[in-house]
Structure 1
Amino acid sequence: MSNPGTSTGPPAVSPRAQLFATIGALLALALASIDVSVVGAAMPRIADDLNGLGLYAWVGVSYAVAAAVVVPIAGKLGDMFGRKPVLLVGLAGFLVASWLCGAAQTMPQLVGFRGLAGLFGGVLMANIFTLLADIYTPERRTQMQGVFFGVAGLSMVIGPPVGGLITDSWSWRWVFYVNVPIGLLAILAVVVGVPFVRSGASWRDIDFGGVLALVAGVVPILIGLTLTGDGRPWTSPEVLALLIGGAIMLVVFFLVETRVAANPIVPFPLFRIPQFAIMAVVAFFSAFAMMGVTFFVPLQYQGVMGVSATHSGTLLIPMTLGLMLMGPIAGKALTAMSRYRILGVIAMLAITGGLLLLSTVGPETGQGVPITAMVLIGVGIGIAFPMATSVVQSAVPMSQVGVGTSQVQFWRMIAGPVALAVLGSILTAQIGVAAQGDVLGGGGVSPAQLADAMSDLFLASAIATAIGLVATFFLKEIPLRDMSAMSKKPAQKAPTNRTAKA
């Protein structure tokens, strides 16, 4: 059975509609990307006003878990019903959730509303990059993906100061309310510019069993990993129950998708496509490295090198600049080089090398070493992110571009909780749970002790990222321009469970 819904290549788009669609997608990306960093800057004031310090971390956890679990679901719905209605639902829901967050009166309310915002934020992230495949030629699509990833990187830099400025000038509630006018502009641009593709799918075609099994599997695992990152032992009963229960439900999800579902959310035959499988590995480990650096490098700067909190935040800028500047360049290089595997090797080698440099930082190390490391990591991520998306979009059938793209995004998003859990456990094992609160105060851990712990942490991160490096050596290049031919004829039929069993 072929995939219901849109089954042909992208329709012709006028330059005017393309411009409006791009503006809408950029605004949606800015909303979804900057939201987390903006809110993070306001969280101390929020926790104080709502008397909810005990739930401080769960405001972020609820958003991240909800966004990660909905990404593959939203990508499938975009393939079935078209990108335009799914994006509009995501934007409208995100605006409502943002307003509710701003109006929250208690911390539990805010945690719940942030989870709702995460659901619709995941809907946006699953379809924004897929939209580029609908409205641009393959050459321009790859270049625009580099630009879009640059915008996402820029949001990492401007988010905290913007969030702090809004909180100090108005109120923390306006950190959420400000999303509304921006979101309304995005909705208008999507309505005007994004082409509507008539779909033959109906709600009966949705894989509800797969949805339930996926949620029941991913959510407990991500929460369990979050608990380990907060200092709970991996062997604690609550962590084991969550991890084992989630793993069992993921087995159920696999059985539902391969034996029951007529139109599975995740068509597992896609993992038989070498380019798809390898780029999923690259996406995961490049995001793993990015999350580890973003979260733990400020601790290294402050606790090991004695840099102030304000200055330590600015020292993340070299990584972000590398990501922003390299994204568009990588997009052009991917379409200009027939043997673009070397780009993947360079990207993962740069990330791994940067992490190894960070593992050498000690109390007497100058700032040149970590800054060089951050530049290397930013350059590597700036290549790896658009490359993974572009290669997957060219490797999968046109009828499953949304599924393929959302899977890349899914592996990036779950890399965050995994990185924090694994690397946080290494830090805890080295300095102890009780001492973590004193790493900056001088009463618990010396800079030399923390340096040893951070060295092990970044060394482990480099070893993990090296798995992505090895994977790039097995990438077989396919012409990224093949999709231009596919867009002129009906797409291939989607892999089905029946073909998987053959």
Structure 2
Amino acid sequence: MTETAPAPGRSREVMVILPGLLLAMMLAMLDNMIVGTAMPRIVGELNGLEYFTWVTTAYVLGTTVSTPIWGKLGDLYGRKNIFIGSIVLFLVGSALCGMAGSSLLGGTDSGMTELIAFRALQGLGAGGLIVNVMAIIGDLVPPRERGQYQGIMAAIMSLAMIAGPLVGGFITDNLNWRWAFYVNLPLGGVALIWLILKLHLPKYRTEHRIDWLGAAVLTVGITALVLITSWGGQAHGYPWGSWQILSLAVLAVVALGLFIPIERRAPEPIMPLHVFGNRNFSLISLISLLLGFAMFGALSFIPLFQQTVQGSTATNSGLLLLPMMGSAMVVSLFVGKSITKTGRYKAFPVIGGVIMAVGMWLLGLQDVNTPAWQTGVFIAVLGLGMGFLMQTTMLIAQNSVEQRDLGVASSASTFFRSIGGSFGVSLFGAIFNSRLADSLTERVGAEAAAKFSSGRMDPAMLGQLDPSTRGDILTSLAIAIGGVFMAAIAFSVLVPVLAAFIKHVPLRSGADAPAQAPAESVAAFE
């Protein structure tokens, strides 16, 4: 299909639909942050400290495997109906997550398993939320003007990250952790109605051929890789040389090896390989992967450190995340305005990567005696780095491809960030569990270590222990979580190195955008 430029003079239309888009984006971000502060309480009720990272991993994995599919479906069938479908799926998953472990579904015995499964379903919907919001903005706004809108979206994402821990903490302390999921329903309902009424996008006639084989093979390969990082080498999993891990490794290699020839032959590939011929696109995809690895992987452990080691309530844990979210929001707005004004963007991912690595190093220095204010300073530094990176990566990816591949570019950037987050949560979860088990064994003995590292370890339980045992457990938790942040440095430092090789390509504006597609390619407006 001929490349199609965004229609000029559509700023009013963008502003009309922007509230609905922002609310949809907030849903995906808000959910993760709300659940983060609620996780210690969820683990306490459903019994499963050793599997707590899977609650995040399942969500991110669902987002990861569905993102390229949502992006391609939007390119082929038009984004409005696909976007609305993803919102509905997300809301169904949210309702089921809130019911996990309840009497309606059989009680708490299988609660953790149910929650993990429903989080995966919720993640499938979230993948469509994220990629379609970005692609819709790309449809309506040329790259040169896109910076200010993506800056606004980054600020809203940061606001969601601020509100999420606060709302999650309040809900956990005063209501029930289940409302951390139920709260999505009214917000999602408002977004759904607004977008049905207000969102009108050009709908193109194309030959609808979905690359289901490529999507299936990619899903198998990614799932196998995540299972390797989750199960390999853990006390409750399998040794690295076991037949289970080796079989998963073979499955991953075969699946991902088959994916390339499948995509080359597919009429409508789920991830067109030609876009990776662009150096900037390939570099920014790797940067997105590393960003997700370090950011999502490490951030899963901040509320755990605050609520267990530092003794914060869930509400206070949310308040203590304000420095990180506030700094990310301010920097995102600054970066968006700067890009729109100057058209320059190359320096931002370099600066962001350096600052993020410094933030991870500072967090890795924490121990059982680190005060809350000091943690606040450290995570503020991390937030500065995130603010420089979050939307810049998406902008560079979109500017690297033709308009017809915009959905693919948006989904690829989100895909690599999500897959990085999925691997990061799994790998850092393995590091955490291994270091926790070793430290507990050294301090309280193997039998007690097995009990505490695989069972219920929430703040309420810790408060019931004698001071000596509690001190040993808190020290072990601090050591294990600190090891996670130190491991994240190895991935963070690669971000500025790769970003330094990005070539500055002028951002397209409405005036210099490619020519419009032929009139007959446009069938209607959704």
- Same topology, TM > 0.5: yes
Deviation readout 1:380-418 (Å, 9 max, x if unpaired): 111111111111111111101111111111111122232
Please state if 1:196 is matched with 2:201. yes
Deviation readout 1:231-256 (Å, 9 max, x if unpaired): 53444443433343123211111221
Q: Identify the match of residue 151 of structure 1 among 149, 152, 156.
A: 156
Match of 2:259 in 1: 253
Match of 1:411 in 2: 416
CA contact (8 A) 1:26 1:148 kept: yes
> What one-letter code is carried by the residue in structure 2 that aligns with 1:413?
S
> What one-letter code is carried by the residue in structure 1 that aligns with 2:260?
F
3-state DSSP of counterpart to 2:301: helix
Cα separation, partners in 2 of 1:212 and 1:92, compared to 1, 3 Å:
same
**Matches of 2:375 and 2:42, distance apart in 1:** 33
**Matches of 2:50 and 2:473, distance apart in 1:** 28
1:451 to partner: Cα distance: 6.1
> What one-letter code is carried by the residue in structure 2 that aligns with 1:489?
Q
Deviation readout 1:264-302 (Å, 9 max, x if unpaired): 111112112111111112222222222244233455557
Match of 2:130 in 1: 125
CA contact (8 A) 2:40 2:307 kept: no
Q: Name which of structure 1's ranges 334-343 and 145-154 shifts more when overlaid on structure 2.
A: 334-343
Match of 2:222 in 1: 218
Q: Identify the match of residue 179 of structure 1 among 161, 168, 184.
A: 184
Match of 1:497 in 2: none
Q: Percent identity?
A: 32
Match of 2:73 in 1: 77
> Aligned residues, how many?
484
1:172 to partner: Cα distance: 5.2
**Matches of 2:307 and 2:226, distance apart in 1:** 28
Match of 2:504 in 1: 477
Match of 1:209 in 2: 213
Deviation readout 1:293-337 (Å, 9 max, x if unpaired): 423345555777x55455555433222111111111111222334
> What one-letter code is carried by the residue in structure 2 that aligns with 1:125?
I
CA contact (8 A) 1:59 1:110 kept: yes
CA contact (8 A) 1:149 1:324 kept: yes
Match of 1:500 in 2: none
3-state DSSP of counterpart to 2:512: helix
Deviation readout 1:421-461 (Å, 9 max, x if unpaired): 33344444545357274797754857777666655543332
TM-score by length of 2: 0.81
Match of 2:276 in 1: 271
Q: Name which of structure 1's ranges 456-465 and 442-451 shifts more when overlaid on structure 2.
A: 442-451
Match of 1:227 in 2: 231
Alignment of 1:444-483 (within 5 A): 445=472, 456-482=483-509
Cα separation, partners in 2 of 1:477 and 1:64, compared to 1, 3 Å:
same
- Could you tell me which runs of 5 or more consecutive residues in structure 1 were left unpaired when the two chains were aligned: 492-502
Match of 1:27 in 2: 23
CA contact (8 A) 2:173 2:313 kept: no
**Matches of 1:109 and 1:450, distance apart in 2:** 26
1:228 to partner: Cα distance: 4.5
Cα separation, partners in 2 of 1:396 and 1:55, compared to 1, 3 Å:
same
Match of 1:332 in 2: 337
What RMSD, in angstroms, separates the aligned Cα atoms of the two structures?
3.4
- Could you tell me which runs of 5 or more consecutive residues in structure 2 were left unpaired when the two chains were aligned: 106-110, 441-448, 519-526
> What one-letter code is carried by the residue in structure 2 that aligns with 1:72?
P
CA contact (8 A) 2:94 2:184 kept: yes
Cα separation, partners in 2 of 1:47 and 1:154, compared to 1, 3 Å:
same
Q: Name which of structure 1's ranges 402-411 and 353-362 shifts more when overlaid on structure 2.
A: 353-362
CA contact (8 A) 1:286 1:351 kept: no
1:28 to partner: Cα distance: 0.8
Match of 2:108 in 1: none
Higher normalized contact order (CA 8 Å, seq sep 6+, divided by chain length): 2
1:213 to partner: Cα distance: 1.0
1:30 to partner: Cα distance: 1.5
Match of 2:356 in 1: 351
> What one-letter code is carried by the residue in structure 2 that aligns with 1:28?
A
**Matches of 1:296 and 1:46, distance apart in 2:** 15
**Matches of 1:373 and 1:168, distance apart in 2:** 26
**Matches of 2:50 and 2:478, distance apart in 1:** 29
1:17 to partner: Cα distance: 3.1
3-state DSSP of counterpart to 1:485: coil
TM-score by length of 1: 0.84
1:210 to partner: Cα distance: 0.8
Q: Identify the match of residue 381 of structure 2 among 363, 370, 376.
A: 376
1:20 to partner: Cα distance: 2.9
**Matches of 2:303 and 2:168, distance apart in 1:** 18
**Matches of 1:467 and 1:484, distance apart in 2:** 36
Q: Identify the match of residue 141 of structure 1 among 118, 129, 146.
A: 146
Deviation readout 1:314-373 (Å, 9 max, x if unpaired): 433222111111111111222334553222221111111222233334456666654443
